[in-house]
Amino acid sequence: MLLNAQTLRAAAETLKINESTLYKWLKDEKFKKAYLGAKRQAVEAAIGRLQKLSEETVDVFQQIMNDQQAPASARIAAAKAVLEFAFKGILIEDLEERITELEGRAIKK
């Protein structure tokens, strides 16, 4: 219910419990851990859906960039987005590599 409700108050009302009870539950380590795990699963599922759409998204950017009938501003925005995402992708890969290397060094110590 916590994942679906807009507020803690709304979740408490739906569960027909006092809002203070919900706050007490959130202070309980087992409950908190389960709640955070459920939140993480929900976010991971959303990320998975976004990743499935990424190839289609790139196709749209490419179509707009290459569409000579599209306004120049749209073509430039699409090209800029492609470059920004490509650059961020390289930065993330570099960071992952550096983190892995640092973790390896830390384990050896």
- pLDDT, average across residues 14-32: 94
User: In the predicted model, is pLDDT for residue 3 greater than 80?
Assistant: yes
Consecutive H or E run containing 6: none
What sign has the CA pseudo-torsion 21, 23, 24, 26? positive
pLDDT digits 0-9 by tens, 66-104: 999 999 999 999 999 999 989 999 999 999 999 999 999
- pTM for this prediction: 0.56
Q: How far apart are CA 19 and CA 9, in angstroms?
A: 6
Q: Which residue has the tokens 């007490």?
A: 24
Confidence of residue 36 (pLDDT cuts 50, 70, 90): very high
Confidence of residue 24 (pLDDT cuts 50, 70, 90): very high
